[in-house]
Structures are given as structure tokens and as C-alpha cells.
Amino acid sequence: AGSRLQHEYVPSAHLSAACTCLAWAPAGARQPPSKDGPQRKKRKSEVGEVDKQLDILAIGTAVGSILLYSTVKGELQSKLDGGHDSRVNCVRWHQDSCCLYSCSDDKHIVEWNTQTCKVKCKWKGDNSSVTCLCISPDGKMLLSAGRTIKLWDLETKEVYRHFTGHATSVSSLMFTTVKPMNESKPFDGITGLYFLSGAIHDRLLSVWYIRSDRKEKNAVMSFTVTDEPTFVDLTVSEVKEEPVKLAVVCRDGQLHIFEHILNGYCKKPLTSNCTIQIATPGNDGDSTPNPVPILAAAFCTDKQSLLLVYGNTLQPIIEKVSLNTSEPHICLVRDIQKVLSLKTDAALTKVKTPVVNSDTKVLVPGIPGHSTAVKTPASGKEKKKNKRKPGETEESIEERLGALDIDVSKVKTPGGLPQTDSFAVLLVQGLESNDAEILNKVLNTRKENIVKNTVARMPIHAVIPLLHELTKRLQGNPYSASVMVRWLKSVFTLHASYLSTLPDLIPQLGMLYQLMESRVKTLQKLSRLHGRLFILVTQVAASQAVQEIPEVNQTAKLVYEDDSSEEEGSDDEMIADKDSDENWDEDEEKEEQSDEQDMTVEKEINGDSDLEPENESEEE
């Protein structure tokens, strides 16, 4: 009632095996079920009201084990192992026997005996992971869902009915009625009942009807909401005319309330009768009202008022609200900061302020030699200053440092660039969180001394992750590879002694070695290719230059020596004439020569120099 944390339990393996689902054991495990049906007992927010003796909590983990925890004793009662190989998605207690049902990503459903902590029965529930379970009101049937929904007979472990289900994995399953609407036929415990299902990323909640025949597999009606449903609670309809009330909390922090009498098929999706939102008050027009997300909601036993859980998950506020659901939209105004500050005020009463003498000097931690002016606790105004009112703006760090009498300019780094020690811290943070933005900022530095100092100052345990990261980046863009090589060089020079002590060094650096080997192999071919291309390019450039030169020379010839060129030309012609006359005379004397010799003569006439020695002598 006071929204206070009553009990906290952190499993020893909470980091490796996170808790994935919860279910309260029914109060009297051997007593017959109360009229509310099994679902009512599993609502976390109603634990106090259902029964004061709710004690055992079944917790499913991400590695497949189930923990049974006693809240009364405050210790782990037992651990159920050996049933699942993978993440447990849902756990449900049977209301009569002390059986527990669980389903997992390994596609199986397991029935546990919680007294012996052994697997009672295990069977394959689906072809993909099973995400949700629900036990029928009479305890003889079990609903299971991955994407399709199946109704199992718990005695024979056979499928009794199939339903189409959803496109995504089902996150909630619950029965909405405990008796069939038409009471003419005898009731066999399951036929004629309605149940509800919701799935992740699906804005429709579907209602299914269990018929006596197997023909119909589709939903009879659906409820539409604004976003993916994260928490569903309902009041079970026990009388024919009584409507089912449904409270659905969505991911966007809104709560939708539906009221509907389930009477067969309905074509259109039904919209909510009432939507509830919570917002902060806008203080004096300074700040705009902010929405406060609703985390969960549950109906109280009177089926009228609601328990709302809102705020943040670390410090949720639980409040009982009675609403007039005839209005379509209700916005509740709640000042979260006031509520939380009231809680923290009450907790802080034990803190005492030390009495300080006015002459003493107080040193500020971290910066030697700086003294701060001591505020004497006598003035009551100083105390209240720290607690900020919701609307006020916070003092900047510069102002605070000014109040501490520290020279601000000394604290700031020149040029705004982080120093190498902060680079080393950033690098380690980036490697641990695998944050690409931080890693890019650090690894893209090209200054040799910064790279060396950073590698020298980084802790030993980060060396191998850094090498893996560098290997990954070397495979990518060649430009980044040239920068990464600088880092590799300094890692190997500075941390060689540490690396040589690692027993599994060869597999760790194998990838990098292969990468370098393959690059070095192609280097020779590439350099040859580079050489050839270089020759080609230079030749093309040279020939272009040669082609360009004659044009210039020709223009020069036209400009100079007009007379002399004519005389030379006439001389040349005369010489040529003489030569040809002699050749023709010789040719007439030797008419009986073969075709080959004719050809050689022609060659000589043309001025060719590749004559054979025999022909030359003959001609002579």
C-alpha cells in the first residue's frame, strides 16, 4: 500500500542466468481451487489481497533452470534442473496438485513434481519455441502457444484442439470464462469456454472459443489497442449476463479498459471503452506536462477499482484508483517527484550534519591544495538549497566549481581534445560495451604519440579484445586498415611480453596472421601490375608529347629559309633521277633474272637496306 520495496532477491547467477518469468504458487497447494480461477493468483500486484500466505515464487531463468524461492523465509528453497536446455519463457502452477508447468525456447513443455524437484513428464510442444502457457479452470487441460495455439489434454499429453494463433510469438494467454454461456448441454469442463491471447508487436488481442467440433480454428472476436500489450488483467465472467472486464497496459504507457459480454462471433475489432493516461502537472506554466508510463494494472477483488503501477521500474508507485469508465478518455495528474521526494525525505531523517569549527580548512578530494569555504550549519537556508524544486533549472558545473573556489580554466582540457589517459579509459569502455561510436572516435586518431601512450596506459585484460577489434577493422575498408596497422604495431611492441605468456595465442592471433599472409602474397603480384601500369602510363604520356611536338616544328619550317629549301629540293630530284637511270640500265642487261631478284631491285629503288649479300655482289 505504501509503494515501498518489501523484499528483494538477487539470484547468485543473476548475470549469467537472468530471470525471465515468474509465477506465485497457489496458497494452499492441496486445497481445491478458489472460485477466482488460477489466473487470478498469479497477478503480482494483487499478492497482498489474494492470500496472506502466498509464499513460494517460481522463477524461470535464461539458462533453462527454475528457482523456487520462499518469500517468507527469504531464501532459495530448491532448484529445478535438467528439464530445459534453453531460456524458460513461462512457468505456471497447477491449482490442485503441486505440479509446475514450464515451456522454453527448446520447443518442449515440462511437467515438474515440485516436492521431489524431478521432471514428471516432458514433451515437444511446438516446432518453434513455446512462449506461453495457461491451465484450464478445471485443471485438466493446458493451453500452450508459440505462434499457433494448442490445447493439450494433461492426462494423455495429446493435442485436443488447434487454433490459428498470431503472426508473432504469443506473450499472454488466459481464460475469460469459467462456465459456458448456454447451459442447455452438460458441461465437460472445457467446451464452450472463451480464452484470450495477445502477442508481441501485435496490436490486436484475440478471443477464441472452444467448440465441441474441430472445424473452427479462427478467433471469434478481437480487441484493438494503441501499441503492443505488455500487461493484461481481466475479471472472469461467472454469470451469463456479466461482462468480461479487461485491463490492457500497452508499451506506450497507456491503459485501455474493455467491457464486453462474450456471446459468439463479432466481425469488427472492438475498441476500448476507456483509455487512461497519467501525466505530471505543468507547474505555473513553466514546464509542459510530461506523460508518466503506466507499467501494470490489475482489478481489485470488487471488480470495480483498479490497482495502477506507474513511474519507473526501479521505483514504481502503486495506487488504488476507482474510475468512472463511462468517460472515453481519463488523464490522471500525478506529481511523481513529490511522491518520490516524500519517500526519500522519510528515509533521510537519520543523517546528521557534523558541527564544523569556522577556522578549519576543508580540502576538496582529488585536487590537492584547494580549500573550500565552509558553510556553517547554523544557517538553515543552506540545507534546503540542495533539494531542487521540480520546475527549477539545475546549476551548471561551472557555477558549482565557482562555488567550490576552484579555478575553472585549470580543470578544462585545452582545445577540448581528450588526453591520452582518458583515451585509454574510452577505449576500454568502448571494447567492453562494444560501442562503435566510442571505438571510431579513439581508433581513428593518426598521431603516433597518442596511439603509443594510449596502448601503454590501457589495462592488460583489454589487449586481446583490442586485437580482435583491430582484426575486424583490418578486413574492412583499406583506408581504415592503414590506421589500424599503427595501432597493431604499438600493441605488439608494447605488450609483446604479455602476449607471449598466453597459452592460446596461436588461435587468438590466427585470423590476423592469415589476413597478413594473404595480403603479403598478393603484394608481389600487385607491385608487378603497378610497374606495368606505370610503364604503360608513361609511354602513353611520352607518345602524346611526341605527337604534339612536330606540329610546332612544321610551323617553324614554314617561317624560316624559303629560298634554300627550294634549291635543295631541285638537287635532290636530280640525284634521284640519275640513280633510277643507272638502275634501269642494269635491269635491262639482266632481264633473265628470277622474280626474287626483281623484288630485291625494287627494294633498293625504294631505298631499303635489308639486301642479301649474294644479290649485292651480283648487282655490283
Please tell me the distance from the alpha carbon of residue 440 to that of residue 80, in angstroms, as a whole number: 45
In a domain, 592, yes or no: no
CB 257 within 8 A of CB 272: yes
Task: Please indicate, yes or no, whether residues 192 and 62 belong to a single structural domain of this protein.
Answer: yes
3-state secondary structure at position 375: coil
Last residue of a domain, one of 333, 362, 380: 333
Q: What is the mean pLDDT of the chain?
A: 77
Cell digits of residue 87? 531460456
Q: Which of 229-233, 261-265, 366-370, 548-552 has the highest mean pLDDT?
A: 229-233
In 3D space, the residue among 276, 336, 280 whose CA is nearest the CA of residue 308 turns out to be: 276
Q: Is residue 502 part of a domain?
A: yes
Query: Do 193 and 78 reside in the same domain of the chain?
Result: yes
SS3 call for 573:
helix
Contact 167, 145 (CB under 8 A): no
The angle formed by the CA atoms of residues 160, 161 and 164, to the nearest 5 degrees, is 155
Provide the total of helices (H) and of strands (E) in the chain, helices listed first. Answer: 15, 27
pLDDT for 606: 55
Report pLDDT for 33. 35
Assess whether 436 and 312 both reside in one domain: no
Q: Is the pLDDT assigned to residue 28 strictly greater than 60?
A: yes
pLDDT, residue 415, reads: 46
For range 127-148, the mean pLDDT? 92
Q: Tell whether the model's pLDDT for residue 60 goes beyond 90.
A: yes
Residue 193 within a domain: yes
Of 73, 81, 24, 30, the residue nearest 51 (C-alpha): 24
Within this chain, do residues 321 and 455 fall inside the same structural domain, yes or no? no
Higher local confidence (pLDDT), 242 or 573 = 242
Residue 362, domain member (yes or no): no
Q: Is residue 266 part of a domain?
A: yes
Q: Are both 299 and 441 inside the same structural domain?
A: no
**Chain length of the chain:** 620
Residues 328 and 454 in one domain: no
Per-residue pLDDT at 179 = 81
pLDDT in tens, 242-273: 888 999 999 999 999 998 888 888 888 999 98
Can you give the pLDDT at residue 120?
92
Kindly report, residue by residue over 461-477, the tens digit of the pLDDT: 889 899 888 888 888 77
Same domain assignment for residues 427 and 305: no
The pLDDT of residue 20 is 92
**Does 547 fall in a domain?**
no
For 474-506, the pLDDT digits (tens) are: 887 777 788 888 899 999 999 988 888 888 888
Grouping H, G, I as helix, E, B as strand and the rest as coil, residue 276 is strand
pLDDT band at 59 (very low <50, low <70, confident <90, very high): very high
DSSP string, 151-182: EEETTTTEEEEEE---SS-EEEEEE-BSS-S-
H helices of 14-165, where? Answer: 47-50
Q: Which of residues 333, 354, 373 is at a domain's end?
A: 333
294 and 428 belong to one structural domain: no
**94 and 216 fall within a common domain:** yes
Looking at the structure of the chain, the number of domains it has is: 2
> Could you tell me if 312 and 291 are in contact, meaning their C-beta atoms sit under 8 angstroms apart?
no
The answer, yes or no, to whether residue 341 has pLDDT greater than 70, is no
Cα distances from 214 to residues 152, 155, 185, 194, 297, in angstroms, run 14, 20, 18, 15, 35
User: What is the CATH classification number for the domain harbouring 169?
Assistant: 2.130.10.10
Residue scoring higher pLDDT (192 or 248): 248
C-beta of residue 131 within 8 angstroms of C-beta of residue 118:
no
Last residue of a domain, one of 279, 307, 333: 333
Say yes or no: 436 and 314 in one domain: no
Tens digits of per-residue pLDDT, 547-571? 876 555 555 556 655 565 455 555 5
Whether 359 is covered by a domain: the verdict is: no
CA 84 to chain centre: 26
Specify the higher pLDDT residue, 358 or 121: 121
Q: Does the residue 250 lie in any domain?
A: yes
State the burial class of residue 378 (Cβ atoms within 10 Å of its Cβ: 0-12, 13-18, 19+).
Answer: exposed
Check residues 240 and 308 and name the one with the higher pLDDT. Answer: 308
Give 389-411 pLDDT, tens digit per residue: 555 566 777 777 777 765 544 44
In this structure, the answer to whether residues 463 and 325 fall within a common structural domain is no
Phi/psi region, residue 405 (left: phi>0; alpha: psi -120 to 50; beta: rest), is left
Q: What is the rounded distance in angstroms from the CA atom of residue 95 to the CA atom of residue 37?
A: 8
Please state, in angstroms and rounded to a whole number, the distance separating the CA atoms of residues 512 and 574: 80
Domain that includes residue 516, residue range: 423-522
